[in-house]
């Protein structure tokens, strides 16, 4: 969700609630480098409930001008 002064915790909780497959983080470093940090989120069914899979993955930096194609090449997009 785009906000002027976002707090990360509520942003991540909203993305988990809505099962958003990717979180895009654009901080000061990313802006200066022309990149976006992309973190993939995954869920699976466990005992009849959808559960988010926890990951140690900190995300990957992608050039902003390559972001759309990068996302289209992911398994999550293809599904």
Q: What is the pLDDT of residues 21-73, one digit of tens each?
A: 898 988 899 999 999 999 888 878 889 888 877 777 788 999 999 999 999 99
Q: Which residue has the higher pLDDT, 42 or 2?
A: 42
CA distance 43 to 57: 15
Closest CA to 50 of 60, 42, 58: 42
Token pair belonging to 20 = 């958003």
C-alpha distances (whole Å) from 4 to each of 42, 50, 63 are 27, 32, 23
**Neighbouring-strand partners of residue 53:** 42
At 77 the pLDDT is 87
């Amino acid at each position: 969700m785009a906000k002027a002064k976002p707090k990360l915790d509520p942003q991540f909780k909203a993305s988990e609630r809505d099962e958003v497959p990717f979180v895009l983080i654009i901080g000061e470093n990313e802006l200066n480098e022309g990149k976006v940090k992309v973190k993939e989120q995954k869920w699976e069914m466990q005992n009849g409930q959808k559960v988010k899979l926890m990951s140690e993955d900190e995300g990957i930096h992608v050039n902003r001008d390559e972001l759309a194609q990068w996302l289209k090449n992911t398994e999550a997009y293809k599904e």
